[in-house]
């Protein structure tokens, strides 16, 4: 199925040898880009990841069954679906990783994306006639590795990609594995069940996949040996799980969406299609800010797919293609079109109306479709659009093998450069931004609620619902996210009264200002000149033993800046040698008027008596007054 790589006895000119070396280098680059992107993605997550559940992750903590394997828990429906696979994997992560978000998301990232890359490559290399063409098609998996997909926020988000892994695994079993029929068909049925019990989209994916294979057999009976019984096995798994999943919609939810304030969107509504086109545009990384241009490109891309589907069906119907490899490409392509289309239709039906009232124009709805991770499935289709286009184009009378290969290579390079220019590998920026937002909002919210002994309600984490029960359950089970928060507040009763350590107007051991000049007035106000990255270092003068006993500190100050800015406090947990971003807290300062800001920081091991306050981020003058540090033991 591949070009013969055995060295020829025919002399090769220097020009031809140079061309071969160039093609070999291009192959390595195109194959390497997605792999390198996955490596940098994992590295960025390890660097910036936050170990804290988010939104749906907290549900099992609130109900107290995060580590449960009870059937009543595993088969409980949420968000229009049953997700037994998710609950099993979440329970395993809770038991063996203490629910650690950084470890859990790293493992799911490598498992899901690594599996998809491997399966894509194995299939492409098997059915395309040369390694170069397979590399060209494979390079478009770079779109699948773009930032802001299933990783960075919710631990469980990745489960929506498990059915896609199952789809590619079933395609691999049929295309590449020479197993005994009984074993292969049993494996296909099992994978279809796993897909359907992972998410409602997985049930329909198995249903569509099995149906597509059987339709292909109806068109060409010569395909029955390979796809007939396999299609029946997959279809059986799809029918069973689709029936189970539809019960959730029709019986449990009484035919409604999981949100009472939003009805289903229908294909008869223009909003449905503009939202769906937003997913297509996002999958290809067309800039949302371009508005009409990106919408037009998304429509053109969809029309290209529809055209290739029509040409592929005609090719199979005419049975003019005697090459088994070409038929395999077209069947995989048509199968994936059906699977991805069913997914996008379901997403548009369930989510096109889950938007703010202010989003009402066609362009706004299209741009709204860019949000969240539901574009991901569409990215899996583009390598096969590439492969199907090659199979269909090479039959044109004017086509020549070398020119087609060169053209495909040039197109792959252009598409890769476009994806890179749109931030396909901007993993550091994405994860660092998520980390900054969560460090500034989510963690301080829980810390402050616990220190104030109030109900833990953090809108950015869990809406208006209480997280107190989630924290209590996490504390009892040793969930790793509780390390950010003082464990004594709910476990051992009320904290002791806060102890005042240090007012700035009576500095204990003095203070030090770097990158600016400072003057302390008789009233205790510190005036600081303009400077870049201004740092104010100070100590409390407390004894080392006393600082070690502090589980939480509150640092307060009145800060005046000429414009809106951020103040940042750096602290040193016991044993830490230097200040760094991980041990800091940010607070917004409105500017122009004196504002009382308060930092709450937590360390289970206690603190060192040395702090750094950056009163503002911009190079402006500022004033700091009434700086104080309080300890909660």
Q: What is the pLDDT of residue 468?
A: 85
Rounded percentage of the chain residues whose pLDDT exceeds 70: 87
* pLDDT at residue 490 tops 50: no
Query: 526, 624 in Cβ contact below 8 A?
Result: yes
- Per-residue pLDDT tens over the stretch 518-568: 888 877 788 899 988 899 998 888 888 888 877 678 888 899 998 888 899
Is residue 5 in some structural domain? no
* Residue spans of alpha helices (H) in 319-400: 324-351, 362-368, 376-379, 382-393
Indicate whether 349 and 453 sit together in one domain.
no
Q: Indicate the helix (H) or strand (E) that contains 630.
A: strand 622-632
Indicate whether 424 and 404 sit together in one domain.
yes
pLDDT bin (cut points 50, 70, 90) of residue 40 is: very high
Is residue 614 in some structural domain? yes
Residues 6+ apart with CB under 8 A from 186: 233
- φ, ψ for residue 65 (rounded to 5)? -135, 35
Is residue 219 in some structural domain? yes
Is residue 439 in some structural domain? no
Segment 215-238 shows an average pLDDT of 90
Cα separation of 334 and 392, whole Å? 13
Q: What is the pLDDT of residue 633?
A: 64
603 class by beta-carbon count within 10 Å (0-12 exposed, 13-18 middle, 19+ buried): buried
Give the distance from CA 320 to its chain's centroid. 43
Is residue 3 in some structural domain? no
Domain boundary (470, 491, 512) is at 491
Q: What is the pLDDT of residue 506?
A: 43
- DSSP per-residue letters across 120-140: HHHHHHHHSSSHHHHHHHHHG
* pLDDT at residue 89 tops 70: yes
Indicate whether 80 and 145 sit together in one domain.
yes
pLDDT bin (cut points 50, 70, 90) of residue 324 is: low
- DSSP per-residue letters across 190-207: HHHHHHHHH-HHHHHHHH
What's the domain range around 515?
A: 499-632
Indicate whether 518 and 458 sit together in one domain.
no
Q: What is the pLDDT of residue 552?
A: 75
Query: 569, 555 in Cβ contact below 8 A?
Result: yes
* Both tokens assigned to 548: 């070690």
Segment 274-287 shows an average pLDDT of 94
Query: 169, 119 in Cβ contact below 8 A?
Result: yes
* pLDDT at residue 21 tops 80: no
Indicate whether 422 and 469 sit together in one domain.
no
Is residue 55 in some structural domain? yes
Rounded percentage of the chain residues whose pLDDT exceeds 90: 45
Is residue 436 in some structural domain? no
Tally of domains within the chain: 3
Query: 413, 332 in Cβ contact below 8 A?
Result: no
Indicate whether 387 and 465 sit together in one domain.
no
Q: What is the bridge-based pairing of β-strands 622-632 and 525-528? A: antiparallel
Indicate whether 485 and 516 sit together in one domain.
no
Higher per-residue confidence, 472 vs 498: 472
Closest by CA position to 239, among listed 189, 213, 188, 203: 203
Cα separation of 431 and 152, whole Å? 6
Report CA-CA distances (Å) from 619 to 73, 436, 565. 54, 21, 10
Q: What is the pLDDT of residue 240?
A: 95
Indicate whether 385 and 351 sit together in one domain.
yes
pTM of the model: 0.77
Cα separation of 206 and 195, whole Å? 7
* Both tokens assigned to 65: 């069954």
**Worst-scoring range by mean pLDDT, 187-196, 323-332, 504-513?**
504-513
* Both tokens assigned to 529: 């000149």
- Per-residue pLDDT tens over the stretch 565-608: 889 999 999 889 999 888 898 888 888 888 899 888 877 678 99
**Worst-scoring range by mean pLDDT, 11-25, 211-225, 538-552?**
11-25
* pLDDT at residue 505 tops 50: no
Q: What is the pLDDT of residue 504?
A: 40
Is residue 167 in some structural domain? yes
Q: What is the pLDDT of residue 6?
A: 41
Indicate whether 465 and 510 sit together in one domain.
no
Indicate whether 204 and 229 sit together in one domain.
yes
Cα separation of 586 and 617, whole Å? 10
Indicate whether 36 and 63 sit together in one domain.
yes
Indicate whether 505 and 482 sit together in one domain.
no
Cα separation of 45 and 502, whole Å? 37
């Amino acid at each position: 199925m591949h070009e013969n790589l055995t060295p020829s006895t025919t002399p090769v000119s220097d020009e031809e040898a140079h061309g071969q070396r160039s093609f070999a280098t291009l192959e390595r680059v195109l194959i390497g880009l997605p792999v390198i992107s996955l490596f940098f993605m994992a590295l960025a997550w390890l660097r910036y990841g936050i170990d804290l559940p988010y939104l749906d992750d907290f549900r099992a903590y609130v109900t107290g069954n995060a580590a449960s394997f009870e059937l009543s828990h595993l088969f409980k429906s949420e968000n229009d679906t049953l997700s037994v696979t998710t609950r099993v994997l979440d329970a395993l992560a809770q038991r063996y990783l203490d629910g650690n978000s950084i470890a859990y998301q790293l493992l799911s990232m490598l498992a899901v994306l690594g599996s998809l890359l491997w399966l894509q490559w194995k299939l492409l290399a098997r059915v395309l006639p040369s390694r170069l063409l397979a590399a060209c098609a494979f390079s478009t998996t770079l779109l699948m590795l773009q930032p802001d997909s299933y990783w960075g926020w919710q631990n469980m988000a990745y489960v929506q990609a498990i059915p896609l892994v199952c789809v590619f695994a079933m395609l691999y079993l049929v295309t590449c594995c020479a197993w005994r029929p009984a074993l292969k068909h049993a494996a296909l049925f099992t994978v279809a069940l796993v897909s359907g019990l992972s998410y409602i989209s997985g049930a329909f994916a198995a249903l569509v996949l099995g149906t597509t294979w059987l339709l292909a057999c109806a068109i060409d009976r010569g395909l029955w040996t390979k796809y007939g019984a396999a299609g029946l096995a997959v279809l059986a798994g799809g029918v069973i799980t689709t029936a189970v999943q539809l019960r959730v919609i029709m019986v449990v939810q009484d035919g409604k969406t999981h949100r009472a304030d939003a009805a289903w969107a229908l294909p008869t509504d223009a909003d449905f299609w503009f939202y769906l086109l937003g997913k297509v545009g996002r999958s290809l990384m067309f800039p949302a800010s371009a508005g009409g241009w990106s919408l037009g490109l998304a429509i053109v891309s969809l029309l290209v797919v529809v055209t290739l589907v029509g040409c592929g069906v005609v090719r199979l119907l005419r049975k003019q293609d005697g090459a088994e490899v070409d038929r395999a490409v077209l069947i995989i392509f048509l199968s994936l079109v059906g699977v991805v289309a069913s997914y996008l239709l379901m997403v548009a039906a369930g989510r096109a109306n889950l938007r703010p009232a202010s989003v009402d124009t066609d362009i706004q709805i299209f741009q709204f479709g860019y949000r969240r991770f539901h574009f991901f499935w569409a990215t899996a289709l583009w390598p096969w659009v590439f492969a199907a286009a090659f199979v269909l184009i090479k039959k044109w009378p004017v086509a020549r093998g070398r020119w087609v290969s060169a053209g495909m290579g040039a197109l792959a390079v252009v598409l890769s450069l476009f994806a890179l220019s749109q931030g396909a590998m901007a993993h550091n920026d994405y994860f660092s931004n998520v980390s900054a937002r969560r460090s500034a909002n989510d963690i301080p919210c829980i810390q402050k609620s616990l220190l104030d002994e109030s109900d833990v309600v953090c809108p950015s984490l869990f809406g208006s619902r209480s997280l107190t029960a989630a924290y209590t359950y996490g504390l009892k089970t040793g969930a790793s996210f509780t390390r950010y928060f003082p464990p004594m507040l709910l476990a051992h009763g009320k904290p002791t009264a806060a102890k005042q350590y240090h007012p700035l107007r009576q500095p204990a051991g003095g203070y030090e200002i770097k990158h600016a000049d400072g003057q302390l007035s008789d009233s205790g106000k510190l005036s600081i000149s303009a400077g870049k990255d201004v740092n104010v270092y100070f100590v409390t003068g407390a004894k080392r033993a006393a600082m070690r006993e502090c589980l939480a500190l509150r640092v307060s100050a009145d800060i005046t800046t000429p414009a809106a800015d951020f103040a940042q406090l750096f602290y040193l947990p016991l044993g830490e040698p230097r200040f760094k971003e991980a041990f800091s807290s940010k607070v917004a300062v409105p500017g122009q008027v004196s504002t009382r800001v308060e930092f709450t920081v937590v360390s289970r091991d206690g603190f060192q008596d040395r702090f750094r306050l950056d009163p503002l981020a911009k190079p402006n003058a500022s004033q700091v007054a009434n700086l104080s540090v309080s300890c909660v033991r």
